[in-house]
Amino acid sequence: MGASSVTTAQPPLYNRSLLTPAQRERLDVVLVSPRNPLNIGAAARAMANFGFAHLSVVAPFEANWREAKSAVGAPELLENAREFATLADGVADCTLVAGTGTLTHRKPDQRVISLPELGPMLEQELARGGRAALVFGPEKHGLTRDDLSWCHVLVEIPTDPQQPSMNLGQAAAVCLYELVRPNALTVVPPNKIGESAALSGSLERLAGLIEETMKAAEYSPVSMEAVNRHDVRVTLRKLKLSALDTRRVMGLFRRILWRLRKHEL
Protein backbone atom coordinates (compact mmCIF):
# COMPACT_ATOMS: atom_id res chain seq x y z
CA MET A 1 0.00 0.00 0.00
CA GLY A 2 1.46 3.34 -1.01
CA ALA A 3 2.00 6.14 1.42
CA SER A 4 -0.44 8.31 -0.54
CA SER A 5 -3.31 5.94 0.19
CA VAL A 6 -2.80 5.95 3.92
CA THR A 7 -5.03 8.30 5.92
CA THR A 8 -4.63 9.14 9.56
CA ALA A 9 -7.87 8.97 11.51
CA GLN A 10 -8.40 11.84 13.91
CA PRO A 11 -9.57 10.80 17.38
CA PRO A 12 -13.03 12.15 18.22
CA LEU A 13 -13.13 15.05 20.61
CA TYR A 14 -15.80 14.27 23.19
CA ASN A 15 -15.94 17.95 24.16
CA ARG A 16 -17.88 18.55 20.95
CA SER A 17 -20.85 16.81 22.58
CA LEU A 18 -21.12 19.25 25.47
CA LEU A 19 -24.35 21.17 25.92
CA THR A 20 -24.47 24.58 24.37
CA PRO A 21 -23.48 27.48 26.62
CA ALA A 22 -27.12 28.61 26.70
CA GLN A 23 -28.24 25.18 27.92
CA ARG A 24 -25.53 24.92 30.56
CA GLU A 25 -26.47 28.36 31.84
CA ARG A 26 -29.89 26.97 32.80
CA LEU A 27 -28.72 24.05 34.91
CA ASP A 28 -27.92 24.49 38.61
CA VAL A 29 -26.04 21.93 40.66
CA VAL A 30 -27.35 22.07 44.22
CA LEU A 31 -25.53 20.59 47.22
CA VAL A 32 -27.64 20.18 50.36
CA SER A 33 -25.70 20.54 53.64
CA PRO A 34 -22.39 19.19 52.33
CA ARG A 35 -19.93 18.34 55.11
CA ASN A 36 -16.56 17.46 53.61
CA PRO A 37 -14.56 20.29 51.98
CA LEU A 38 -12.78 17.79 49.76
CA ASN A 39 -16.09 16.44 48.47
CA ILE A 40 -17.36 19.95 47.78
CA GLY A 41 -14.17 20.69 45.87
CA ALA A 42 -14.47 17.43 43.91
CA ALA A 43 -18.05 18.23 42.92
CA ALA A 44 -16.99 21.71 41.79
CA ARG A 45 -14.12 20.28 39.73
CA ALA A 46 -16.52 17.82 38.08
CA MET A 47 -18.74 20.76 37.13
CA ALA A 48 -15.76 22.58 35.63
CA ASN A 49 -14.70 19.43 33.76
CA PHE A 50 -18.03 19.19 31.99
CA GLY A 51 -18.69 22.89 31.50
CA PHE A 52 -21.25 23.71 34.21
CA ALA A 53 -20.81 26.91 36.18
CA HIS A 54 -23.82 27.39 38.46
CA LEU A 55 -23.38 25.92 41.91
CA SER A 56 -25.78 26.44 44.81
CA VAL A 57 -25.16 25.30 48.37
CA VAL A 58 -28.01 24.87 50.85
CA ALA A 59 -27.41 25.22 54.60
CA PRO A 60 -23.67 24.45 54.43
CA PHE A 61 -21.53 23.85 57.50
CA GLU A 62 -19.88 27.25 57.62
CA ALA A 63 -16.34 26.24 58.59
CA ASN A 64 -16.23 23.44 56.03
CA TRP A 65 -17.68 25.70 53.34
CA ARG A 66 -15.01 28.32 53.96
CA GLU A 67 -12.33 25.63 53.73
CA ALA A 68 -13.78 24.29 50.48
CA LYS A 69 -13.72 27.74 48.91
CA SER A 70 -9.98 27.89 49.41
CA ALA A 71 -9.42 24.53 47.65
CA VAL A 72 -7.52 24.28 44.40
CA GLY A 73 -9.35 23.13 41.27
CA ALA A 74 -12.37 25.34 40.64
CA PRO A 75 -11.89 28.45 42.80
CA GLU A 76 -13.91 30.82 40.61
CA LEU A 77 -16.86 28.44 40.49
CA LEU A 78 -16.84 28.08 44.27
CA GLU A 79 -16.35 31.80 44.78
CA ASN A 80 -19.44 32.53 42.68
CA ALA A 81 -21.58 29.82 44.29
CA ARG A 82 -24.90 30.92 45.74
CA GLU A 83 -25.82 30.10 49.34
CA PHE A 84 -29.37 29.44 50.52
CA ALA A 85 -30.87 28.72 53.90
CA THR A 86 -33.41 26.22 52.53
CA LEU A 87 -33.78 23.94 49.53
CA ALA A 88 -37.07 25.67 48.72
CA ASP A 89 -35.17 28.92 48.18
CA GLY A 90 -32.38 27.19 46.27
CA VAL A 91 -34.70 25.78 43.59
CA ALA A 92 -37.38 28.50 43.58
CA ASP A 93 -36.60 29.64 40.02
CA CYS A 94 -36.41 26.12 38.56
CA THR A 95 -39.09 24.34 36.54
CA LEU A 96 -37.53 20.87 36.83
CA VAL A 97 -35.85 19.67 40.01
CA ALA A 98 -34.16 16.27 39.96
CA GLY A 99 -32.98 14.73 43.21
CA THR A 100 -30.29 12.04 43.14
CA GLY A 101 -29.70 8.89 45.15
CA THR A 102 -30.21 5.16 45.38
CA LEU A 103 -33.36 3.25 46.31
CA THR A 104 -31.62 1.49 49.17
CA HIS A 105 -33.65 2.06 52.38
CA ARG A 106 -35.85 4.54 50.51
CA LYS A 107 -39.42 4.44 49.19
CA PRO A 108 -39.75 7.73 47.31
CA ASP A 109 -43.06 9.46 46.65
CA GLN A 110 -41.70 10.86 43.40
CA ARG A 111 -41.37 9.20 40.02
CA VAL A 112 -38.06 7.32 39.85
CA ILE A 113 -36.05 7.52 36.65
CA SER A 114 -32.80 5.84 35.68
CA LEU A 115 -29.75 7.99 35.10
CA PRO A 116 -29.86 7.59 31.27
CA GLU A 117 -33.42 8.99 31.29
CA LEU A 118 -32.26 12.26 32.84
CA GLY A 119 -30.66 13.64 29.66
CA PRO A 120 -33.77 13.50 27.46
CA MET A 121 -35.93 14.88 30.27
CA LEU A 122 -33.55 17.77 30.78
CA GLU A 123 -33.35 18.42 27.04
CA GLN A 124 -37.13 18.70 26.82
CA GLU A 125 -37.30 21.15 29.72
CA LEU A 126 -34.50 23.32 28.34
CA ALA A 127 -36.07 23.27 24.87
CA ARG A 128 -39.15 25.03 26.22
CA GLY A 129 -37.10 27.63 28.07
CA GLY A 130 -37.16 26.11 31.54
CA ARG A 131 -34.47 25.98 34.18
CA ALA A 132 -33.35 22.78 35.90
CA ALA A 133 -31.63 21.81 39.13
CA LEU A 134 -29.70 18.64 39.90
CA VAL A 135 -29.72 18.12 43.67
CA PHE A 136 -27.27 16.10 45.76
CA GLY A 137 -27.75 15.33 49.44
CA PRO A 138 -25.35 15.22 52.39
CA GLU A 139 -22.61 12.59 52.31
CA LYS A 140 -23.86 10.85 55.45
CA HIS A 141 -27.43 9.99 54.44
CA GLY A 142 -28.27 11.63 51.12
CA LEU A 143 -31.48 13.53 50.46
CA THR A 144 -34.19 13.13 53.08
CA ARG A 145 -37.86 12.49 52.39
CA ASP A 146 -38.51 16.16 53.09
CA ASP A 147 -35.72 17.24 50.70
CA LEU A 148 -37.22 15.08 47.97
CA SER A 149 -40.62 16.73 48.37
CA TRP A 150 -39.20 19.66 46.37
CA CYS A 151 -38.09 17.35 43.56
CA HIS A 152 -40.12 16.38 40.52
CA VAL A 153 -38.19 13.13 40.07
CA LEU A 154 -35.61 11.00 41.83
CA VAL A 155 -32.70 10.00 39.60
CA GLU A 156 -31.47 6.57 40.60
CA ILE A 157 -27.71 6.22 40.41
CA PRO A 158 -27.07 2.50 39.86
CA THR A 159 -24.70 1.12 42.48
CA ASP A 160 -23.82 -2.32 43.77
CA PRO A 161 -25.99 -3.43 46.73
CA GLN A 162 -22.80 -4.25 48.62
CA GLN A 163 -21.78 -0.57 48.51
CA PRO A 164 -24.84 1.56 47.67
CA SER A 165 -23.51 4.93 48.83
CA MET A 166 -21.33 7.02 46.54
CA ASN A 167 -18.89 9.82 47.23
CA LEU A 168 -20.41 13.23 46.52
CA GLY A 169 -17.74 14.20 43.98
CA GLN A 170 -18.07 10.88 42.18
CA ALA A 171 -21.86 11.11 42.07
CA ALA A 172 -21.68 14.60 40.59
CA ALA A 173 -19.15 13.50 37.97
CA VAL A 174 -21.20 10.47 36.93
CA CYS A 175 -24.43 12.47 36.59
CA LEU A 176 -22.89 15.41 34.75
CA TYR A 177 -21.04 13.15 32.34
CA GLU A 178 -24.34 11.45 31.55
CA LEU A 179 -25.74 14.83 30.52
CA VAL A 180 -22.94 15.63 28.08
CA ARG A 181 -21.90 12.27 26.68
CA PRO A 182 -22.54 11.59 22.98
CA ASN A 183 -26.18 10.81 22.23
CA ALA A 184 -27.20 11.47 25.83
CA LEU A 185 -29.60 14.20 24.79
CA THR A 186 -32.40 13.90 22.29
CA VAL A 187 -33.76 16.70 20.17
CA VAL A 188 -37.36 17.49 21.04
CA PRO A 189 -39.62 18.39 18.10
CA PRO A 190 -41.13 21.89 18.42
CA ASN A 191 -44.69 20.55 18.48
CA LYS A 192 -43.88 18.54 21.61
CA ILE A 193 -42.36 21.36 23.61
CA GLY A 194 -45.61 22.51 25.21
CA GLU A 195 -46.27 25.31 27.66
CA SER A 196 -43.65 26.56 30.08
CA ALA A 197 -43.72 24.69 33.37
CA ALA A 198 -44.43 26.35 36.69
CA LEU A 199 -41.50 27.59 38.75
CA SER A 200 -40.83 25.66 41.94
CA GLY A 201 -41.35 28.90 43.87
CA SER A 202 -44.79 29.32 42.30
CA LEU A 203 -45.73 25.77 43.26
CA GLU A 204 -44.59 26.50 46.80
CA ARG A 205 -46.84 29.57 46.97
CA LEU A 206 -49.74 27.49 45.65
CA ALA A 207 -49.00 24.81 48.26
CA GLY A 208 -49.11 27.47 50.97
CA LEU A 209 -52.45 28.74 49.69
CA ILE A 210 -53.89 25.21 49.59
CA GLU A 211 -52.70 24.64 53.15
CA GLU A 212 -54.41 27.86 54.30
CA THR A 213 -57.61 26.71 52.60
CA MET A 214 -57.41 23.29 54.23
CA LYS A 215 -57.02 24.90 57.65
CA ALA A 216 -59.96 27.25 57.05
CA ALA A 217 -62.08 24.27 55.99
CA GLU A 218 -60.91 22.28 59.06
CA TYR A 219 -59.82 19.57 56.67
CA SER A 220 -57.90 17.56 59.26
CA PRO A 221 -56.55 17.73 62.83
CA VAL A 222 -53.62 20.02 63.60
CA SER A 223 -51.47 16.93 64.13
CA MET A 224 -51.81 16.14 60.41
CA GLU A 225 -50.63 19.53 59.12
CA ALA A 226 -47.03 18.50 58.50
CA VAL A 227 -48.12 15.36 56.64
CA ASN A 228 -50.63 17.32 54.57
CA ARG A 229 -48.01 19.94 53.72
CA HIS A 230 -45.61 17.27 52.47
CA ASP A 231 -48.29 15.45 50.46
CA VAL A 232 -49.53 18.64 48.78
CA ARG A 233 -45.98 19.64 47.82
CA VAL A 234 -45.31 16.22 46.28
CA THR A 235 -48.68 16.07 44.50
CA LEU A 236 -48.29 19.47 42.85
CA ARG A 237 -45.00 18.36 41.31
CA LYS A 238 -46.53 15.11 40.10
CA LEU A 239 -49.26 17.07 38.29
CA LYS A 240 -46.68 18.83 36.06
CA LEU A 241 -48.67 22.07 36.07
CA SER A 242 -47.83 24.73 33.53
CA ALA A 243 -47.24 28.30 34.66
CA LEU A 244 -50.70 29.26 33.35
CA ASP A 245 -52.44 26.34 35.07
CA THR A 246 -50.73 27.25 38.34
CA ARG A 247 -52.10 30.79 38.16
CA ARG A 248 -55.58 29.43 37.42
CA VAL A 249 -55.51 27.01 40.35
CA MET A 250 -54.25 29.78 42.65
CA GLY A 251 -57.17 31.94 41.58
CA LEU A 252 -59.57 29.10 42.36
CA PHE A 253 -58.17 28.49 45.84
CA ARG A 254 -58.06 32.22 46.62
CA ARG A 255 -61.76 32.36 45.83
CA ILE A 256 -62.52 29.32 47.97
CA LEU A 257 -60.48 30.70 50.85
CA TRP A 258 -62.22 34.08 50.58
CA ARG A 259 -65.63 32.34 50.73
CA LEU A 260 -64.63 30.26 53.74
CA ARG A 261 -63.36 33.27 55.66
CA LYS A 262 -66.41 35.31 54.72
CA HIS A 263 -68.61 32.52 56.05
CA GLU A 264 -66.68 32.60 59.36
CA LEU A 265 -67.60 36.29 59.77
- The residue with greater pLDDT, 69 or 6, is 69
HEC assignment per residue over the chain: CCHHHCCCCCCCCHHHHCCCHHHHCCEEEEEECCCCHHHHHHHHHHHHHCCCCEEEEECCCHHHHHHHHCCCCCHHHHHCCEEECCHHHHCCCCCEEEEEECCCCCCCCCEEEEHHHHHHHHHHHHHCCCCEEEEECCCCCCCCHHHHCCCCEEEECCCCCCCCCCCHHHHHHHHHHHHHCCCCCCCCCHHHCCCCECCHHHHHHHHHHHHHHHHHCCCCCHHHHHHHHHHHHHHHHHCCCEHHHHHHHHHHHHHHHHHHHHHHC
Question: What percent of the chain is predicted at pLDDT more than 90?
Answer: 55
Q: What is the mean predicted confidence (pLDDT) over 138-159?
A: 91
- C-beta of residue 177 within 8 angstroms of C-beta of residue 116: no
Whether the predicted pLDDT of 148 surpasses 60:
yes
Per the prediction, the chain carries an average pLDDT of 85
Q: Where are the domains of the chain?
A: 18-192, 200-264
Give the residue with greater pLDDT, 76 vs 209.
209
- Which pLDDT score is estimated for 10? 45
Residue 195 is predicted with a pLDDT of 73
Q: What is the pLDDT of residue 103?
A: 81
pLDDT reported for residue 31: 97
Query: Residue 71: pLDDT band by 50, 70, 90 thresholds?
Result: low
Instruction: Please report the pLDDT score of residue 14 as a whole number.
Output: 46
pLDDT digits (tens, 9 = 90+) for 212-253: 999 999 999 999 999 999 999 999 999 999 999 999 999 999
The whole-number pLDDT of residue 5 equals: 45
Q: What is the pLDDT of residues 21-51, one digit of tens each?
A: 788 889 999 999 998 888 999 999 999 999 8
pLDDT of residue 17: 45
Contact present, 27 and 54 (Cβ < 8 Å) = yes
CATH of domain 18-192: 3.40.1280.10
**pLDDT for residue 73:** 66
Strands 27-32 and 132-136: parallel
C-alpha 172/C-alpha 169 separation (Å) is 5
Give pTM, 2 decimals. Answer: 0.85
Per-residue model confidence (pLDDT) at position 54: 95
